[in-house]
Structures are given as C-alpha cells and as structure tokens.
C-alpha cells in the first residue's frame, strides 16, 4: 500500500448526489492526507440510521454531493505530516467524534466531548485547510462526520481513529465505531444500573438493543423494551429484554404505564429514538428519589424538551450522553479487547451482509425495519 503514499488514489465511492436518491457508485479521486490526517483503506463499513437520517435530510441541513458512512473498519494506507501514533498497516476504527488529547474535555476524566473534533454534521471539509479530499473531475465531493466510509479509501483526522488489535475481525468490530458503543456505553458508563435493578429501553433498534445488552451485562433483573413496532419484540429477547410495552396499546401516557407495572417507576431508563415525546416519557418514567434517565437519540433540530420542574425536585436525574461516554482513541481499543475475550457479543447485531456494489440494499433493509446492522464488504 505504501507505493501509493503521497499520490492521488482513484477508487470507487458511493456518492449521495441529492437527498433521498439512491447512492451512485462513482470513480472518485482521493487526495493524500495533509497535516494530522490519515488515509485509510476501508475493508468493511455498515449502515447506521444516522446515515439514513442525513441522506433523507428531512430534519437537518442538506449537504450534497456527499460521501456518507461512519461505521467502519480499515487499514492505514498512508499518514500525513505530524502523525506519529499511526503507521501504514495499522488496523483502525474511524469514529464520528474525536479525541485530540489536548483540550480541556480530553484531559477531563468525565468528558469525551473534544473541543477540536466533536461531531459537526454540517461540515463537509477537512479541518486543516477547509477543503475536501474527495473530487470527481475536479469538482469537490463533501465529507460526512469527518469519516465518509462509503468509499474504498477515505481521509480522516488522526484524532478520529482508534488503533485496534490487528487480530480483531473488522467485519464484526466495525459496528463498535458507532452504534454498539453508543448504546452499550449509555447504559454501563452513564446510567450505571445496579445488579437486580429495572431498566426501560426506549427504541429497540440497534442502539437500543446495545443499551439493553449493557443492562443485561450489568445484571438488571427487569429490562422493559418500549417500541411502537411489535415486530421487534421477539428479536429483543436475545439482548436480555424481559418484557415489552407498545405505547399504541395504551390510552394513557407510556410513562404512567411503566410507573404502574414497576411500583412507581424504573430505576434507570435509556432513550434511543430521538423522538422528543419518547425523551420526555423516558425521564418521567424513572422512580423518584433515585431514578436516572439517559438520552441517546438525536432530536429534530427544532425540538424542545418540556417537563415539570417538580420531576427534578423529586430527585429524578436526567443525563445526556455522546458515543456512550467513550473516548475514541483511549477507550475503544479496550472495548474491542472485551469482544476478543468473549465478554461481549457482536454477531447477533449483524443481520445482513452485502457487497459494496449493492450498498443501496442496505438502505432498503433499514427503511423496511428489517435490519439491525448490514455489513457492507468493500472488496
């Protein structure tokens, strides 16, 4: 791979030319990495609902043409000026947020919200020179979340790459670069349910099921899945969910239903839908005195959270989380090792696999609600 260092690479990429239209496989030019950047050969990527959300561009600013994708695994092809902790051949997971290791957030034990590299959904260019590394016939193609993994090669800031065990199977651990860690970490790092406690999970997609898995691993005795799609219930049992509530089956608010069946409310709740009503319900369904609700889902940009202040005065706690409170470079390699040591299961999240040439099938599976994670093989 080193023979291509410093040169433009022409490769296949799936380009989103406009909102909601099928991606088109194009020959794109990928420029060499600049200062503090790394060029990666992507081997496997997977489709996350966030990709679909920004591809549809209904609740966010449309930025097109764009190369989407942010959940992936790959190998370093070459590094730019100033990169010292990665080298060609290293196995890495790209992450939509980063860790510069120098800002106040990175130095804090409590935060993973890097000042320099935190998520920016509107930025379609690299930080170093505000230019894209992708082009077609001289026309720039925009980046997505600093990762753009729907391309055989991509350029990423070094701070958004976690170096991992080269023995880890990239077609499995690639889902750790977003969905799995976001849900699992929200439970184990933020909600922190005690053994024998009750946990409500709002939304039983891949992130919600990862949150449920975190509750199961933590030893929760009751894990209540809340979803308006009952077809998800049977599958959720594999992830430790013990009972289910479909808000559509009840005339009263779901938080009241949960309070009734749990003698006052659950000990912890984790909201994984981004629906503002679900967020409010997740907070109001936790027990007074000690209940903790954790918000994971990304809301519509104009959404507002409304609840009575008495819910706080009655000693309920509301928290937010970002990538499960994991610091990408510092923490992700250790999470991969947990999988390698058989402490974590990833296979049950992977429901479909397609070659890169059929990437639009992955979108179809997700839009139909048929998939948790569809792995896209680049070669």
Strands 139-141 and 134-136: antiparallel
Q: Which of 37, 97, 99, 114 is catalytic?
A: 114
For the chain, the C-alpha Rg in angstroms (whole number) is 21
Q: How far apart are CA 214 and CA 270, in angstroms?
A: 10
Catalytic residue among 26, 37, 50, 285: 50
Among 105, 232, 287, 373, the one annotated catalytic:
373
Instruction: Identify how many contiguous H helices and E strands the chain contains and give both numbers.
Output: 11, 17
Q: Exactly one of 26, 37, 71, 152 is catalytic; which is it?
A: 71
Catalytic entry in 39, 70, 268, 316: 70
- What is the distance between the alpha carbons of residues 28 and 174, in angstroms, rounded to a whole number? 23
Q: Is 181 a catalytic residue?
A: no
Residue of 4, 11, 56, 103 with catalytic role? 103
Give the Cα separation of 81 and 92 in Å (integer).
Answer: 18
In the residue annotation, 49 being an active-site residue is answered as yes
- Catalytic: which of 66, 91, 97, 100? 100
Q: Which of 160, 174, 178, 181 is catalytic?
A: 178
| Active-site annotation holds for 106 | yes
- Do 157 and 126 touch, CB atoms closer than 8 A? yes
Q: What are phi and psi of 144, to 5 degrees?
A: -135, 120
> In the annotation, is 71 catalytic?
yes
Number of residues that make up the chain = 379
- Establish whether 50 is a catalytic residue: yes
User: Is 157 an annotated catalytic residue?
Assistant: no
* C-alpha span between 242 and 292 (Å, rounded): 20
Catalytically annotated residue among 105, 118, 232, 316: 118
Annotated active-site residue 374? The verdict is no
Distance CA 367, CA 47 (A): 11
Q: Which of 48, 160, 174, 374 is catalytic?
A: 48
Strands (E) located in 99-245: 134-136, 139-141, 153-157, 161-163, 198-202, 222-226, 243-245
Which entry of 37, 45, 106, 374 is annotated as an active-site residue? 106
| Enzyme catalytic residues | 48-50, 70-71, 100, 103, 106, 114, 118, 178, 373
């Amino acid at each position: 791979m080193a023979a291509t260092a410093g040169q433009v690479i022409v490769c296949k990429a799936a380009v989103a030319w406009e909102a909601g239209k099928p991606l088109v496989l194009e020959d794109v030019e990928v420029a060499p990495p600049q200062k503090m950047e790394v060029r990666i050969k992507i081997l496997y990527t997977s489709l996350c609902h966030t990709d679909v959300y920004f591809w549809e561009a209904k609740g966010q600013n449309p930025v097109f043409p764009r190369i989407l994708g942010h959940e992936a695994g790959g190998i370093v092809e070459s590094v730019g000026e100033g990169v010292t902790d990665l080298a060609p051949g290293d196995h890495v997971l790209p992450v939509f947020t980063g860790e510069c290791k120098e800002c106040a957030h990175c130095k804090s034990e409590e935060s993973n919200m890097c000042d320099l590299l935190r998520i920016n959904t509107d930025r379609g260019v690299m930080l170093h020179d505000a230019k894209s590394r992708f082009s077609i016939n001289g026309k720039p193609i925009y980046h997505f979340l600093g990762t753009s993994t729907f391309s055989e090669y991509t350029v990423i800031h070094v701070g958004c790459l976690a170096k991992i065990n080269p023995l880890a199977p990239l077609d499995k651990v690639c889902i750790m670069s977003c969905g799995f860690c976001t849900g699992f970490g929200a439970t184990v790092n933020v909600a922190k349910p005690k053994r024998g406690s009750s946990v409500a999970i709002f939304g039983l997609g891949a992130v919600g099921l990862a949150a449920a898995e975190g509750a199961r691993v933590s030893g929760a005795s009751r894990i209540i899945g809340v979803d308006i799609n009952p077809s998800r219930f049977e599958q959720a049992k594999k992830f430790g969910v013990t009972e289910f509530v479909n808000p559509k089956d009840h005339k009263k608010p779901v938080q009241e239903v949960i309070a009734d069946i749990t003698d006052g409310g659950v000990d912890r709740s984790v909201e994984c839908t981004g629906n503002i009503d679900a967020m409010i319900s997740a907070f109001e369904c936790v027990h007074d005195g000690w209940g903790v609700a954790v918000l994971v889902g990304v809301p519509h940009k104009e959404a507002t959270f409304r609840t009575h202040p008495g819910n706080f005065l009655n000693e309920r706690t509301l928290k937010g989380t970002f990538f499960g409170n994991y610091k990408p470079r510092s923490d992700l390699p250790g999470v991969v090792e947990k999988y390698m040591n058989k402490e974590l299961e990833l296979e049950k999240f992977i429901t479909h696999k397609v070659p890169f040439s059929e990437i639009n099938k992955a979108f179809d599976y997700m839009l139909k609600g048929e998939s948790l994670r569809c792995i896209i093989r680049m070669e």
